[in-house]
Structure formats: structure tokens, C-alpha cells
Amino acid sequence: MNENVEQRVGLLTAVRNGLGVLHELTGVIARHQGDIRSVDIIEQSENGTRIYFELDLPGSPEDLVHDIGELEAVHNVEAVQTMQKIYGKRIVIMGGGAQVGQVAVGAIAEADRHNIRGEHISVDTIPLVGEQALAAAVRAVTRLPRVKALVLAGSLMGGEIEHAVREVRQQGLLVVSLNMAGSVPEACDLVVTDPVQAGVMTVMAVADTAKFNVARLKRREF
Amino acid sequence: MNENVEQRVGLLTAVRNGLGVLHELTGVIARHQGDIRSVDIIEQSENGTRIYFELDLPGSPEDLVHDIGELEAVHNVEAVQTMQKIYGKRIVIMGGGAQVGQVAVGAIAEADRHNIRGEHISVDTIPLVGEQALAAAVRAVTRLPRVKALVLAGSLMGGEIEHAVREVRQQGLLVVSLNMAGSVPEACDLVVTDPVQAGVMTVMAVADTAKFNVARLKRREF
């Protein structure tokens, strides 16, 4: 086996509850030159906690799985298929329920067409009300893994939400808005009037299987 | 300040790329008696990586933020609002695009009604085709944080997907199926014919603001 070939490995561990367990696990992974790409602490019950890692590893995972299994805090460890392979890129839609639902219909139908051709796109939504709650949710999108684009679906958004949109765009996130009242549309990459089309266009913009490129569009409003 | 009062804290860190950085961070958190509830490694670029923690901490986060900021690998660290507060419980809908879209419309509209009353429910979807891909995605749901229920939306599902459904139900996940061909409906908690109603019922089942309890239903098919 060529030790220089890095591979992405999924590791599911069941561990005892307690402080410092994650510190022990990451110590073993660092010793094996594992570059951790994601960590999920899934459920904590009285019987223990399950922690899921994705990491890039030189060579095969058998030795790492063995050494993690030797830790006193570890009940079980196994190599599993990675999330990137299963769930892939994420689109997040947020705003008012009626409009979020229609954007979702467009985005899901379009994601289906691309996923059939080998893409991995999932569509996440959060129905939400209020300027502060929405601004916090917009900012939090950049703390979620695998998110490529955000759609704001509502009838009136502005103020603090506009500031949040400008911040997350600076961090490289694509932001699409429905055509609506308030200052949010001005702050977005793309403004679309029909909610179904907004969902379709957003998925097209992040799909490698599509030819649609927002930067090349001659207009920004549809 | 009462040192025995635990509080949930969100910590956003910007760190240099490199092996062992997560090990260093978790070491400092363990020294401060922080019980880590979630970790997200958000984006890795050539300039560095952003890692987001949620943890229960005795007392206030100032000392921990200070000590993490002292690490050579850390460019920036700040306390932020937690995700549980922003995104809350998750419903996942997977299957064929046309039907996933309709379940999403019901789930999003219903989640909106509960979120307005103080719940925090978000609705995630993945349009997907194929027995193996779906079975893998069903199993992977239990490795995602904050997921309370899964809806299978399609016209034919069975075989390996049925086994995956039985496994995740044993781990405590609520699984709802559309009325469809194949063996999946038999393996689920609830079978619903109308996709919009399937979405609505699933949200009702996980909302603390609803009176709906699947265990108390006199029938399992609608």
C-alpha cells in the first residue's frame, strides 16, 4: 500500500461520558497524522456518547481504529461511509413558512435532477420570524458545515438582516433573495420573484452538473 | 458568581491549519471542566480553519476564551449564540424529489406555526435515488446532530432501506413513511398517504408546543 495516498475516512465511536474524552480521541488521531475534517457529537445518553469523525488519513484506517479501540473511554469504534459522500452540499432556505415551502419545492425538484446525475445536494429549511432571530440564523449559516448557498424567502426583510447578509457574503456564501420589501434584496447576489424559480436557480448555481454561473449573469433581478 | 451553575456556551475559533490543533483546543476546554456538546469544523482554506464548539461550562466563559486565545495555533476566538437556540430540532425528509417537496411544504408550514410559539424546528431534505444510497442516508441520519424524526417520501422502498429503518428506530428515531409500495411502510412508526399531512404530522410529533403523541394513536395508517 502506498502510504502517501490520503483517504477520507468516517469513524463512528461510542464512548463513556466524561470530560476530556474528545481530547483523548483527538490525541490518538493526531499521532496517526489524521487531519480531522469534521466532528459530530451525536447523542449523549446516560449510557454514553457517540462521536463521529471524518478525517484524511495517510494509508488505511485499520491501525487507527485499533488504537482508538484500546482507549479505556471507548466502548466501540468502526469505520463508516463519509457524510460528504452521502449528504454533500447544502442549500439553506429561511424565512416565512409559506414562501420557504415554495422555494423548497423548486430547490428539491432541481436537486433531484442533479443528484440523479451524480451530484450530492441537500436542501435545508428553517421557518423563522423576527429581525433578530433571522439575523442570528443568517450569521450562524457560516458555522454550519457544507453550506454553499442561502435563500431568504419572505415579504419584508431589512435592518440587521441586511447587515448579516453582507457579512456572510464577504465570507464567500452565495445569498439569493426573493423580490421583497426592505433592504435585503439590495444586499444579495441574486433577486428572484418566483419562489420556485429562486429554489431552482440556487441549486443550479452550486451544482457542478449545471452550466449556470451567477458571476456571468448580465442582470441580477428576475 | 455561583460556580456550580452550568451554562451552554458557543465558541467560534479561527485557527491555523495543521495536525493536532483540535487536540490542543480540547485540552484547554477539558482543563476548564467544559463538557463539549458539539463541534463543527466549518471551512478549511489556505489561511486557516474555523472551528465552532458548544459546551456546558461551570461559570462564565471569559477565562476559557482567554486561555484559548493564548494558544499559538489560535488566530481568534469569540463567544457566540448557540445553535440549539437558533436551529433547534431537525426533521429530515428523503426520497424522490416530487414527493419530498410536498412533504416539505407541509412540514415547513407546520414548523412555522410552532416556531412562532417558541419552538425551534428546522426541516432538512435530501432528494435521492437508489436502494443503497437511501439505506446509507437513513443510517447516516443517526450521525447528524439534533435530528428527531425522519420521513421517507417515495413510491417504492424496501430491501436494505427497510433494514436501515429498523436499525435507526431501535436507536430512538421516529420514522414516518408515505403509503407506498415495498416493505418500508411496515417497518415505520407511522404511515401517511397525503404527503402534506405526513409533513404536518411529523412536525406535530416532535413539537413540544403540540399535543400529538404517536405512541397514543389508535391506528398507525392514515
Closest chain B residue to A196, measured at CA:
B101
Would you state the cell numbers that stand for residue B178, as one nine-digit string? 408515505
Q: Cβ separation of B129 and A145 shorter than 8 Å?
A: no
Given this model, what pLDDT does residue B46 score? Answer: 77
Task: Judge whether B202 and B151 are in contact, CB under 8 Å.
Answer: yes
Task: Supply the pTM of this predicted model.
Answer: 0.76
d(CA B207, nearest CA chain A) in Å? 14
Parallel/antiparallel/unpaired status of strands B89-95 and B147-153: parallel
ipTM over cut 0.90: no
Q: Cβ separation of B23 and A20 shorter than 8 Å?
A: no
- Choice among A9-13, B7-11, B141-145, B170-174 with the minimum mean pLDDT: B141-145
Q: Is A4 exposed, middle or buried (0-12, 13-18, 19+ CB in 10 A)?
A: exposed
Would you state the cell numbers that stand for residue B76, as one nine-digit string? 481568534
- Round to whole Å and give the CA distance between B43 and B51: 8
Q: Is A47 exposed, middle or buried (0-12, 13-18, 19+ CB in 10 A)?
A: exposed
Indicate the residue of B96, B116, B122 with minimum beta-carbon distance to A129: B116
CA angle B14, B18, B23 (to 5 degrees): 80
Give me the amino acid identity at A88.
G
DSSP codes, A56-124: EEES-SHHHHHHHHHSTTEEEEEEE--HHHHT-EEEEEEE-HHHHHHHHHHHHHHHHHHHHTT--EEEE
Task: Judge whether A122 and A148 are in contact, CB under 8 Å.
Answer: no
Helix or strand holding residue A40 (H, E): strand A35-45
Closest chain A residue to B88, measured at CA:
A126
Q: Which of A208, A220, A206 is nearest to A91 (CA)?
A: A206
d(CA A158, nearest CA chain B) in Å? 19
Q: Which of B169, B120, B160 is nearest to A129 (CA)?
A: B120
Indicate the residue of A19, A109, A143 with minimum beta-carbon distance to B97: A109
- Sequence-distant (6+) residues with CB within 8 A of B218 are none
Q: How do residues A100-144 score in pLDDT, each as one tens digit?
A: 999 999 999 999 999 998 899 999 999 988 899 999 999 988 878
Q: How do residues B39-74 score in pLDDT, each as one tens digit?
A: 888 777 778 888 989 899 987 889 999 999 999 999
Q: How do residues B85-132 score in pLDDT, each as one tens digit?
A: 777 899 999 999 899 999 999 999 999 999 998 899 999 999 988 899
Average pLDDT, chain A: 90
- Round to whole Å and give the CA distance between A193 and A200: 12
Cross-strand partners of A150 = A92, A175
Given this model, what pLDDT does residue A80 score? Answer: 83
Given this model, what pLDDT does residue A4 score? Answer: 52
Q: Is the pLDDT of residue A3 over 50?
A: no
Given this model, what pLDDT does residue B4 score? Answer: 52
- Average confidence (pLDDT) over A73-89: 84
Q: Cβ separation of B129 and A123 shorter than 8 Å?
A: no
Per-residue pLDDT band for A2 (boundaries 50, 70, 90) equals: very low
Parallel/antiparallel/unpaired status of strands A6-15 and A48-58: antiparallel
Per-residue pLDDT band for A216 (boundaries 50, 70, 90) equals: confident
Q: Which of A103, A215, A86 is nearest to A154 (CA)?
A: A103
Q: Is the pLDDT of residue B218 over 70?
A: yes
**Higher-scoring residue by pLDDT: A80, A170:** A170
**Higher-scoring residue by pLDDT: A47, A182:** A182
Task: Judge whether A175 and A162 are in contact, CB under 8 Å.
Answer: no
- Round to whole Å and give the CA distance between A190 and A204: 13
- Average confidence (pLDDT) over A181-206: 95
